[in-house]
Structure 1
Amino acid sequence: MSAWSLSTLLASLHDDIQLRLGIARKALQHPGVKGDASEGVWLDMLETYLPKRYQAAKAFVVDSLGNFSEQIDVVVFDRQYSPFIFKFDEQIIVPAESVYAVFEAKQTATAGLVAYAQQKVASVRKLHRTSLPIPYAGGTYPAKPLIPILGGLLTFESDWSPALGSSFDKALKVDMHDGRLDIGCVASHGHYFHDVSDNTFKFVQENKPATAFLFRLIAQLQFSGTVPMIDIDAYGKWLTQS
């Protein structure tokens, strides 16, 4: 009989995330360093456990009209079908068409942070995205509809009491459009998600929130399908700009 335990393995995934976030909170005093450490924990988890068709990075997002988003802590984007990515030193820029999800990652959830995250997410969703018809041996498929870009918030703690209560819900409902934060995790308490069936936010308190959040994110990404066929020529025109 195997000595492996699936429940133990899944619990260990969360315990590792919570421990590393806790160390960043307690041991690192400089706010910028602490923030970078928190982002790194979430990025490492997503890079390790998301299917390889996805990549996660801190990045800017650009569209074919030359518009840029604000810098996003965690961008989940396509690496299989997205034909290019720009990287210079630590600065990464990805095309808007390749983006599946964007997250703000910080130590503690507050009303101010929720509003800030909504602004960041909106700066991505407002970008122009192309979608070309897809040729195949028997003809051409119509251009694929644009997939919704998921937005979210990732923290270790919450300033509210209870951590996942009415105050959090009220903050999330301030922007239910371009800045909507569809899914997120407070690693010490639980995770939340936007339920499209009744247009409300559901809060789930469990023992292993990071693992539960990861599974829910993967499930939602599965329903997103594949990113549209990008119009490379729309980006290529910028080669002639001085």
Structure 2
Amino acid sequence: MSMWSLSQLLSSLHEDIQQRLATVRKTFGHPGTKGDASENVWISMLDTYLPKRYQAAKAHVVDSLGNFSQQIDVVIFDRQYSPFIFTYENETIIPAESVYAVFEAKQTANAGLVTYAQEKVASVRKLHRTSLPIPHAGGTYPPKPLVPILGGLLTFESEWSPALGASFDRALSTDLGHGRLDIGCVAAHGHFSFDQTANRYNFTDGNKPATAFLFKLIAQLQFSGTVPMIDVEAYGQWLTK
């Protein structure tokens, strides 16, 4: 008889994330250091458990017109088909076409953080993205539709009581456009996602939030498909400027 327990494995994944975030909160006093450590916990989890076609990093996003996003705590991007990722003085720059999802990651959720996260997400979604026809043996396929970029929020706790109640819902609902937060996790309490069909947020308390969030994210990434064929020459034009 097998001694393995799938339930215990999934529970352990959540408990590991929650414990690491709790340790960050207790150990680091400086807000900047605490924030960096929190981001690293989430990036480590995503890099460990997402399929290897994806990679997670703290980064800026750039488009072929030379526009840059704000700095994003966690960017999930393509590593299978992306032709280039820039690294300069330990700063990572990712072309907009390669991005699947962006997250703001902090210790505690509140109204100010939600607004800040919405602004960050919008700064990525507003960037220009190219999509070239795809060559094949019989000719070319038309350019792929652009992959919708997921936006989200990752925290350990929430200032609201209840943590995932009406106040959180009102804050999230202030921007359902470019800044919409599609998915997120409050590791000590639960996770949330936006239902586009019903045009409302769904909140789930408990139920091993970090693990449940990870599964929900993977499912949404599966439906996103693959990033488009990037127009590399559109970026190459900047060599002559």
TM-score normalised to the size of structure 2? 0.99
Q: Does 1:18 align with 2:18?
A: yes
Partner of 2:91: 91
The separation in 2 between residues aligned to 1:37 and 1:126, in whole angstroms, is 28
Identify which range, 97-106 or 24-33, moves more after superposition: 24-33
Q: Identity, % of aligned pairs? A: 76
Partner of 2:65: 65
The separation in 2 between residues aligned to 1:54 and 1:199, in whole angstroms, is 28
Partner of 1:40: 40
Partner of 1:174: 174
Q: Does 1:78 align with 2:78?
A: yes
Partner of 1:133: 133
Partner of 1:27: 27
The separation in 1 between residues aligned to 2:15 and 2:43, in whole angstroms, is 16
TM-score normalised to the size of structure 1? 0.99
- Structure 1's consecutive aligned runs of 4 or more residues displaced over 3 angstroms after TM superposition are none
SS in 1 for 2:45: helix
Partner of 1:218: 218
RMSD of the alignment, in Å?
A: 0.5
SS in 1 for 2:230: coil
Unpaired runs of 5+ in structure 2? none
The separation in 2 between residues aligned to 1:89 and 1:66, in whole angstroms, is 19
1:154-193 to structure 2, matched below 5 A, reads 154-193=154-193
The separation in 2 between residues aligned to 1:207 and 1:192, in whole angstroms, is 12
Aligned length: 241
Pairwise CA distance, 1:207:
3.2
The separation in 2 between residues aligned to 1:5 and 1:155, in whole angstroms, is 28
The separation in 1 between residues aligned to 2:90 and 2:112, in whole angstroms, is 27
